Amino acid sequence: VREAIVKACGNDINRWPELVPFAFWSERVSIQRSTGFSPYYIAHGIHPTLPMDLVQRTLLVPPINLPLSVPDLLAYRIQQLENREEELHTLQNEVYQARLRYAAQFLRNHETTIHDYDFQPGQLVLVRNTRIENDLGRKTKARYFGPLIVVHRNAGGSYIIADLDGSILRVRIAAFRVIPF
């Protein structure tokens, strides 16, 4: 246990008092070579539910180099039990920055294909015939209906469309189906 605490402290040996509870907990739940069971399992007959299984963030430990010695295993578990708020904060910032970079790259790569048409009332449009998309004979059928007239755009983005003679369609048309005439 002493070796595990020293390894878990790394360069700052003065941290040993805060790591002692983690060391003893790790020893109690680790499988012993002599019995093949953990002391916890021997005492209670079930495998322990570790705090890291429930709420702890255990992703912030270095990768494992197998096989591990007993002190290395205990030191690894001690690192898992520690709360590493500063590393978590750094990791969150890196993920957020990566998301922003990816979003900007996505917009650059697809700037010619992404269109948010905001059709005004009275504008002529075509409506995509989505009913035929799964049909085997779709090559010979009309892909678009129209021209039609935009009557109104709803808050959700769908359109109320009318025929050229002014008769209003009873269904709302999804925005992705509407393109300019």
pLDDT in tens, 3-40: 888 888 888 888 888 888 888 888 888 888 888 888 88
Token pair, residue 16, equals 């040993």
Token pair, residue 5, equals 């605490």
- What gap in Å lies between CA 23 and CA 3, rounded to an integer? 10
Q: For residue 124, what pLDDT band results from cuts at 50, 70 and 90?
A: very high
Stated length of the chain: 181
Question: What is the β-pairing status of strands 124-128 and 178-180?
Answer: antiparallel
Q: How is the chain split into domains, by residue range?
A: 2-87, 124-180
Q: Estimate to the nearest angstrom the gap between the alpha carbon of 30 and the chain centroid.
A: 31
- H-helix or E-strand containing 145? strand 144-153
User: What's the count of helices (H) and strands (E) in the chain, helices before strands?
Assistant: 6, 4
Please count the other Cβ atoms lying within 10 Å of the Cβ belonging to residue 140: 7
Q: For residue 53, what pLDDT band results from cuts at 50, 70 and 90?
A: low
- What gap in Å lies between CA 16 and CA 162, rounded to an integer? 76
Token pair, residue 120, equals 């005004």
pLDDT higher than 70, residue 60: no
128 with 177: CB under 8 angstroms?
Answer: yes
- What gap in Å lies between CA 26 and CA 32, rounded to an integer? 11
pLDDT higher than 80, residue 116: no
* pTM recorded for the entire structure: 0.39
Token pair, residue 81, equals 């039990």
- Residue 76 vs residue 177, higher pLDDT: 177
Query: On the CB side of 95, how many CA atoms lie within 13 Å of its CA?
Result: 6
Mean pLDDT, range 35-48, rounded to an integer = 81
